[in-house]
Amino acid sequence: MKKELFPNAYSDKLFEQVYDYLLERIRRGEWKAHDKLPSVRVLAAEFEVHRLTVFKAYQLLKENNKVYVKDKSGYYVQPGSVLPPAVQQDPIVSAYVHESHLSEIHQVEAVYQFSKALLDPNLLPNRYFSEYVKKVFDLYPKVLGTYSTTQGDAELREALSRYFTDRYRFDLTKDEILITSGSQEAIDLIARVLVKPRDVVLLERPTYSPAIDVFRRQGASIIPIEITPDGYCLEQIEEMMQNHKPRLFYMNPTFHNPTGYTVPAEQRKRLVDLAAEYHCLLVEDDPCPDIYFGKAPPSPFFAYDTSGYVIYIRSFSKYISPGLSIAMVACRQGIMNYLIKAKSLSDNGTPLLNQKIFLHYFFSERMQQHMEKLRTALAIRKDIMEEELSGTGWQWRSPAGGFNLWIKLPESVLMDELLGKSMEQSITFVPGTICDPLRELNSWIRMSYSYLNEQQLREGLRRFVSLFRELFGE
Amino acid sequence: MKKELFPNAYSDKLFEQVYDYLLERIRRGEWKAHDKLPSVRVLAAEFEVHRLTVFKAYQLLKENNKVYVKDKSGYYVQPGSVLPPAVQQDPIVSAYVHESHLSEIHQVEAVYQFSKALLDPNLLPNRYFSEYVKKVFDLYPKVLGTYSTTQGDAELREALSRYFTDRYRFDLTKDEILITSGSQEAIDLIARVLVKPRDVVLLERPTYSPAIDVFRRQGASIIPIEITPDGYCLEQIEEMMQNHKPRLFYMNPTFHNPTGYTVPAEQRKRLVDLAAEYHCLLVEDDPCPDIYFGKAPPSPFFAYDTSGYVIYIRSFSKYISPGLSIAMVACRQGIMNYLIKAKSLSDNGTPLLNQKIFLHYFFSERMQQHMEKLRTALAIRKDIMEEELSGTGWQWRSPAGGFNLWIKLPESVLMDELLGKSMEQSITFVPGTICDPLRELNSWIRMSYSYLNEQQLREGLRRFVSLFRELFGE
């Protein structure tokens, strides 16, 4: 049956429509965990369909762990299998809105923000930056009076295509680059253009939490792919591609968020071949390839791709200029045309000013030299975090780059309590569950060492560890 | 039957699902204009549903002018009733993407761009602007290192709430304002949050073309509302609200695009009452209230609203700073919470730099004084356009504000030919069809007088008029 499930949306079967409908009602919270669902007979009458159709829909819900059967007495909602109800219904707002769980934690004001995988603004060359901006206004005196094209400033795209060709041997023209307002917009556009309800999407487990939210909102069927310090299990991926015909695999293979793991070069080549063989797009999100502590990471998947199956998202916000929100998507013309059309309706082009400032700032010699200082500063902060946590017995793999420690706490930890009490002490972190497409990983947390300065790091971590001991003993 | 059609998505009937499915296939171009559709018998077998269900779906398609019946021999696709097929299928891209038709015309490079309803960048105080930007960097030296919150910079929202309270007596706090990356993003977010497939949406006829594209993409059933120099026919609107329970009415009531018409104050008050009575949101798009040639326009609908049914979009791109792309949405808390969540997944906040620059530029005394100069400059350009076209016999209503002339050409005009030949002569304009939800208005065009300088205006219009005479005689 699985095979019929995902041919393409044109040939939706009736039982799949019933499936969608029931799942939607569960998601909206009409039926809650452990609620008994209406009988096959009742639903068949309600929908004017054959009972077998409802039965097939229920079978599929069961297979996908959305419902369970108890004592042969009927179907019940599986707890935790779907998102919690999208807040209480507003009388005049009834469309279904998915929440971005990460953004909620970020809204908490806190002194010790270990939840922010962002660069401390003090590590950026701010004075120098201001000088550059003035230069931009001298160069383009009418920049504020001018709209960008939808695809993005041609001068910037030209410079980026040269940069990626020189540095990573990308085969990339300026027409194959789209400038977006940050990587979040890039993910959203890709999902909107490529993913229809019930399309299968592979996501790493754990992964970048807002990506889960975006693909869920599109109605995708999400299959988790475990990521480990050694990369993926390619046999598992091939099996998934073969059996489930995924539309795409959204991945973050270099200094992965939240784990910090990097997929080795030899796997990159093989996975690109698998993608072409099974017609599964690889959406490669690459927010911090320059933040390495030892040697530079392997080239992006995009460099290995000759068949046009890799869509490369490169963000420049995290460690270059968060206040500009500049990112780019590189892909081949077929997909590019669709992305440009989607962007024309979503914001019709990233502001020109931001693109021009970014262009002159990023490609300046000073900025490129500054990377070295950044790496050193972040390596020191990472070391501090590891030192402060060294006596705890908690487990993590020391990352070779990026912004985060992905930490396994003792299984017995009560995460809600830990998060609540931490916030009371002005400490935030990211609970692992929200990075997990399955919403498990209850005893893992992500702690970022990039946003706080050395003294804040030490203070905050000492408070956090002592709070933990207070709550859960040694 | 109509009444059952739009209760809400939770109770989708089976024939409606069949309806959606058939319409989607027509939209995708699987069946083209005048193609014969499969028989009721064949589809009932394919979908495993009762023939009556398919019959009901076909009846609804017929009612909505998507198909027609010929000689009792079957159902045929009604030409022009749906969008043209979304370009040819790309082998690895199959999701359905709507095109933004206006953005395609804007991509044409031309000397005489009468298609651009934008301000000539030379009319902006660019030097002065550059000075302000430097000031912003002195005030916020770390602005480039800092992300904005999703809702937008609190200082800017505070200033805007004071501005609207002072100027229009809005009852508006900073928590009821969302900063967006231009009004296109605002429309897109509102559509995504509020509109589900088959929801009824009222749109002015003609209207802002990308709005048609956005609501179509959401799968809305669009009902056109005629806008005239005297505003709307409120009886028609009330009837539509009563019979079709529209989710929202997207409107542009002040110096309307493309017509330039303004809905009078007395209609505003009454329409706000109707909206509350029939639970229909009014989405008020207000891109140029300051560009008036005689007296200032009436207050926005939002000022009349006490029940929370108006969502106010104010763009600051068109005549203040196109390169910054700053707009805002004002609405009450219930809807605001959903918009913030949607924005967190779509771009997670408008760049902070743009917000800070806008804040200091827009609220400066100099900018406010500059408005007066702008009005004068645009009034002169409008007069030039009207003078150059005065001998043509074409018809238009002289606008009291805004950027456009909405012109009726003789019925006999062949629009495709006119547009094609104009482009060959480096002249662009907007054909009325793309501003029309019904894709008619074949002999209307929108010409903007805002983008070209006085000399270009005269030259371009003379060429255009003489081309027209060449093609179609006097």
Residue B218, chain A, CB below 8 Å: the answer is no
Residue B346, chain A, CB below 8 Å: the answer is yes
- Inter-chain contact A124–B142, Cβ cutoff 8 Å? yes
- Inter-chain contact A12–B21, Cβ cutoff 8 Å? yes
Residues 6+ apart with CB under 8 A from A121: A322, B142, B145, B146
Q: Which of B47, B325, B341 sits opposite A351 (nearest CB)?
A: B325
Q: Are strands A427-428 and A404-408 parallel, antiparallel or unpaired?
A: unpaired
Chain A nearest-CA distance from B292, in A, is 20
Q: To probe the interface with A, which of B345, B355, B374 has the most A CB atoms within 10 Å?
A: B345
- Inter-chain contact B322–A103, Cβ cutoff 8 Å? no
Judge whether B432 and B422 are in contact, CB under 8 Å: no
Residue B334, chain A, CB below 8 Å: the answer is yes
Residue B276, chain A, CB below 8 Å: the answer is no
Q: Which of B93, B123, B182 sits opposite A338 (nearest CB)?
A: B93
Give contacts of A95 with chain B, Cβ < 8 Å. Answer: 192-196, 338
- Inter-chain contact A141–B130, Cβ cutoff 8 Å? yes
Q: How far apart are CA A60 and CA A71, in angstroms?
A: 19
The string of DSSP letters for B132-180 reads HHHHHHHH-TTGGG-PPPSS--HHHHHHHHHHHHHHH-----GGGEEEE
| Residue in the structure block whose two tokens are 């043509």 | B392
Residue B59 confidence (pLDDT): 86
- Inter-chain contact B144–A129, Cβ cutoff 8 Å? yes
Chain B nearest-CA distance from A141, in A, is 6
- Inter-chain contact B345–A188, Cβ cutoff 8 Å? yes
Q: How far apart are CA A402 and CA A379, in angstroms?
A: 9
| Sign of the torsion formed by the C-alpha atoms of A14, A15, A17 and A22 | positive
Q: Which residue of A has its CA nearest to B357?
A: A144
Give contacts of B281 with chain A, Cβ < 8 Å. Answer: 92
Topology given in CATH for the domain delimited by B127-365: Aspartate Aminotransferase; domain 2 (3.40.640)
Judge whether B272 and B282 are in contact, CB under 8 Å: yes
pLDDT in single tens digits along all 474 residues of chain B: 222 322 222 234 678 778 877 887 777 667 777 888 888 888 887 777 788 888 888 888 888 778 888 877 789 888 765 433 332 333 333 333 334 467 667 767 789 999 988 899 899 888 888 778 878 888 888 888 888 899 999 999 999 999 999 999 999 999 999 999 999 999 999 999 999 888 999 999 999 999 999 999 888 999 999 999 999 999 999 999 999 999 999 999 999 999 999 999 999 999 999 999 999 999 999 999 999 999 999 999 999 999 999 999 999 988 888 889 999 999 998 899 999 999 999 999 999 999 999 998 899 888 888 999 999 999 999 999 999 999 999 999 999 999 999 999 999 999 999 999 999 999 999 999 999 999 899 999 999 999 999 999 999 999 999 999 999 986
Give contacts of B103 with chain A, Cβ < 8 Å. Answer: 150, 341, 344, 348
Residue A143 confidence (pLDDT): 85
**pLDDT-derived band of residue A392, with 50, 70 and 90 as boundaries?**
very high
Coil, helix or strand at residue A77? strand
- Inter-chain contact B182–A322, Cβ cutoff 8 Å? no
CATH of domain A126-365: 3.40.640.10
CA distances from B307 to B128, B273, B423 (A): 42, 9, 48
Lowest mean pLDDT among A21-35, A242-256, A329-343, B226-240: A21-35
Residue B377, chain A, CB below 8 Å: the answer is no
How many CB pairs below 8 Å do chains A and B form together? 271
Give contacts of B361 with chain A, Cβ < 8 Å. Answer: 144
- Inter-chain contact A323–B194, Cβ cutoff 8 Å? no
Coil, helix or strand at residue B57? helix
Chain A nearest-CA distance from B348, in A, is 7
Give contacts of A337 with chain B, Cβ < 8 Å. Answer: 87, 90
Question: Which tokens go with A102?
Answer: 């990460």
- Inter-chain contact A334–B48, Cβ cutoff 8 Å? no
Residues 6+ apart with CB under 8 A from A328: A152, A157, A160, A177, A178, A179, A180, A186, A313, A314, A316
Sheet holding B404-408, edge to edge: B404-408, B444-448, B430-431
Judge whether B247 and B281 are in contact, CB under 8 Å: yes
Chain B nearest-CA distance from A79, in A, is 21
For the cut 50, the answer to whether the pLDDT of residue A88 exceeds it is: no
Q: How far apart are CA B471 and CA A329, in angstroms?
A: 44
Q: To probe the interface with B, which of A89, A348, A434, A450 has the most B CB atoms within 10 Å?
A: A348
Q: How far apart are CA A125 and CA A150, in angstroms?
A: 30
- Max distance between CA atoms of chain A, in angstroms, equals 76
CATH of domain A101-123+371-472: 3.90.1150.10
- Inter-chain contact A93–B338, Cβ cutoff 8 Å? yes
Q: Which residue of B has its CA nearest to A22?
A: B10
Q: Which of B103, B107, B347 sits opposite A185 (nearest CB)?
A: B347
Give contacts of B14 with chain A, Cβ < 8 Å. Answer: 47-49
Chain A nearest-CA distance from B364, in A, is 16
Give contacts of B28 with chain A, Cβ < 8 Å. Answer: 10
Q: Which of residues 94-113 of B touch A (CB under 8 A)?
A: 94-100, 103, 107
Tell me the pLDDT of chain A averaged across its residues.
87
Q: What angle do CA A320, A325, A327 make, to 5 degrees?
A: 80
Residue A411 confidence (pLDDT): 93
Q: Where would I find the H helices in B195-332? A: 209-217, 234-244, 265-278
Chain A nearest-CA distance from B470, in A, is 33
Residue A125 confidence (pLDDT): 85
Q: Which of residues 24-43 of A touch B (CB under 8 A)?
A: 25, 28, 30
Q: How far apart are CA A237 and CA A239, in angstroms?
A: 5
Chain A nearest-CA distance from B311, in A, is 12
Question: Which tokens go with B457?
Answer: 């205006």
Chain B nearest-CA distance from A182, in A, is 7
Give contacts of A13 with chain B, Cβ < 8 Å. Answer: 48
The string of DSSP letters for B212-230 reads HHHHHHTTPEEEEEE-BTT
Residue A101 confidence (pLDDT): 64
- Inter-chain contact B323–A148, Cβ cutoff 8 Å? yes
Q: How far apart are CA B236 and CA B226, in angstroms?
A: 9
Judge whether B347 and A317 are in contact, CB under 8 Å: no
Residue B92 confidence (pLDDT): 35
Q: Which residue of B has its CA nearest to A132?
A: B134
Residue A28 confidence (pLDDT): 62
Question: Which tokens go with B415?
Answer: 């629009």
Tens of pLDDT, residues A111-151: 999 998 889 989 988 888 877 887 888 888 888 888 889 99
Q: Where are the domains of chain B?
A: 2-77, 101-123+370-472, 127-365
Residue A7 confidence (pLDDT): 29
- Inter-chain contact A90–B334, Cβ cutoff 8 Å? yes
Tens of pLDDT, residues A314-353: 999 888 888 899 999 999 988 999 999 999 999 999 999 9
Residue A144, chain B, CB below 8 Å: the answer is yes
User: Hey, which CATH number is domain B2-77, 1.10.10.10, 3.20.20.10, 3.60.15.10, 3.40.50.300?
Assistant: 1.10.10.10
Q: To probe the interface with B, which of A148, A198, A347, A451 has the most B CB atoms within 10 Å?
A: A347
CA B332 to chain centre: 22
Residue B268, chain A, CB below 8 Å: the answer is no
Strand segments, DSSP code E, in A230-291 are 248-251, 281-286
CATH of domain B101-123+370-472: 3.90.1150.10
| Sign of the torsion formed by the C-alpha atoms of A430, A189, B218 and B325 | positive
Q: To probe the interface with B, which of A309, A325, A352, A358 has the most B CB atoms within 10 Å?
A: A325
Cβ-in-10-Å burial (0-12, 13-18, 19+) of B41 comes to exposed
